[in-house]
């Protein structure tokens, strides 16, 4: 197990170096730990946003092709291999990659791993303080009762207690500078808008309103705001779908033929449902087990996702909805007396739309 962890960390060493360099440079310019985290989060999301938008476009095309996928299933339902072959061929002809929807999620997991470690050890990764000097400072703070024995032992993976100890004791900071263990420009002030981003929020409600309420309550409120932005973001993403609402005729067909219910599922619904359950748990775990800087990162990542959803709706979802509405209007006008409840897909209106959609390739 230990060898596996070593290999994983070795593979991510370039990200540790890159993220540490960016964060250190930003802190030198801004001299505000909170602003550094916010700007860093925005930069990360701007880099990943084109891939996210491309994935969203691919998912929308996949949704709009679902009636044809269902037709393949209807014709070759007993031959699963043939169904898979024709479905993959259909997606390939339309420039749809099944991996495009998973790639942004995988990249997010790859990126979050070094961020977690960097936010736990800013002296090591952001300020580039020598590890031996961090050990010396930790031992000195331990002798003064400003760090526990467990914190001193784990200082290589989490040096936030060192920062907290130096913040709490001016004499300890002065001694560390005098001994050459740390330079003042390397010292990070974790205070931001009345919050200490170096503190870990407590999951105990008694501490939120107890003697340390001035420290803990703002951090818990930050967690609440972060989770609200997440659920708002998920709601926006559910609403920002190219799939039109079911028409009255479609609902009548489903009522007359229960077998049609669920025949046209959202191909990304299963993955989305899993993410809706999985991501809040990850967020809550990291926010209550790590310094509050991680919470600030999650908050502004949610904000950037909201912006991405708005862009995706404006440039991908809305045009598809308008095209669908135009096709539906043409179909409605062509029906004699409006009495037929024939499927629009079978009438040729949607078929023409799908043909146009199929002819478009990714840029």
Query: What is the tens place of the pLDDT at every residue in 96-112?
Result: 766 655 666 677 777 88
Specify the pLDDT at position 271.
54
Higher pLDDT, 235 or 130: 130
- For 65, 107, 305, the CA distances from 355, given in Å and listed in that order, are 10, 33, 31
Q: State how far the Cα of 160 lies from the Cα of 165, in Å rounded to an integer.
A: 9
* Largest interatomic CA distance in the chain: 91
Distance CA 138, CA 245 (A): 61
Cα 230 to Cα 223: distance, rounded to the nearest angstrom: 11
pLDDT at 50 over 80: yes
Boundaries of every domain in the chain? 2-127+188-243+278-359, 132-187
Share of the chain above pLDDT 70, in %: 72
Under 8 Å between Cβ of 323 and 63: no
* Mean pLDDT computed over 314-337: 66
**Closest CA relative to residue 122, chosen from 86, 157, 170:** 157
Q: Does residue 342 have a pLDDT over 80?
A: no
Nearest to 194 by CA among 212, 208, 215: 215
**1: which 2 tokens?**
């197990």
State the pLDDT confidence band at 282, using cuts at 50, 70 and 90. Answer: confident
- Work out the end-to-end distance of the chain between its first and last CA atoms, rounded to an integer number of angstroms: 43
Confidence tier at 224 by pLDDT (50, 70, 90): very high
In this predicted structure, the answer to whether residue 257 has a pLDDT above a threshold of 80 is no
**Backbone angles phi and psi of 181, in degrees to 5:** -75, -30
Query: What is the pLDDT of the chain when averaged over all its residues?
Result: 77
- Give the pLDDT confidence of 177-199 residue by residue, as tens digits: 999 999 998 999 899 998 999 89
pLDDT score recorded for residue 182: 93
The Cα 309–Cα 16 span in angstroms is: 29
User: Could you give the CA distance from residue 253 to residue 341 in angstroms, rounded to a whole number?
Assistant: 8
* Length in residues, the chain: 363
């Amino acid at each position: 197990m230990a060898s596996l962890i070593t290999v994983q960390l070795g593979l991510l060493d370039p990200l540790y170096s890159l993220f540490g360099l960016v964060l250190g440079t930003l802190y030198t310019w801004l001299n505000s730990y909170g602003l550094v985290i916010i700007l860093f989060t925005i930069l990360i999301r701007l880099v990943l946003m084109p891939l996210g938008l491309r994935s969203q476009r691919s998912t929308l095309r996949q949704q709009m092709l679902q009636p044809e996928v269902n037709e393949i299933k209807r014709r070759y339902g007993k031959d699963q291999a043939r169904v898979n072959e024709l479905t993959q061929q259909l997606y390939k002809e339309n420039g749809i990659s099944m991996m495009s929807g998973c790639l942004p999620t995988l990249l997010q997991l790859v990126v979050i791993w070094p961020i977690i470690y960097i936010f736990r050890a800013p002296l090591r990764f952001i300020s580039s303080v020598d590890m031996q000097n961090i050990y010396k400072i930790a031992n000195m703070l331990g002798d003064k009762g400003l760090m526990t024995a467990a914190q001193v032992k784990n200082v290589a993976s989490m040096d936030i207690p060192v920062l907290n100890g130096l913040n709490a004791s001016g004499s300890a900071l002065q001694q560390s500078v005098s001994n050459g263990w740390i330079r003042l420009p390397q010292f990070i002030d974790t205070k931001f808008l009345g919050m200490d981003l170096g503190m870990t929020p407590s999951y105990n409600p008694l501490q939120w309103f107890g003697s340390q309420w001035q420290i803990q309550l703002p951090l818990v409120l930050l967690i609440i705001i972060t989770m609200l932005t997440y659920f708002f973001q998920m709601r926006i993403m559910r609403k920002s779908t190219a799939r039109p609402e079911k028409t009255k005729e479609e609902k009548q067909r489903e009522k007359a033929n229960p077998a049609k219910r669920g025949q046209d599922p959202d191909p990304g619904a299963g993955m989305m449902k899993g993410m809706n359950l999985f991501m809040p748990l990850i967020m809550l775990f990291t926010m209550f087990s790590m310094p509050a800087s991680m919470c600030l990162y999650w908050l502004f990542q949610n904000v950037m996702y909201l912006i991405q959803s708005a862009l995706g709706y404006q440039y991908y979802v809305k045009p598809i909805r308008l095209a669908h509405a135009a096709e539906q209007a043409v179909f409605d006008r062509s029906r004699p007396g409006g009495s037929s409840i024939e499927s629009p897909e079978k009438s040729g209106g949607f078929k023409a739309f799908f043909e146009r959609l199929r002819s478009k390739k990714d840029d």
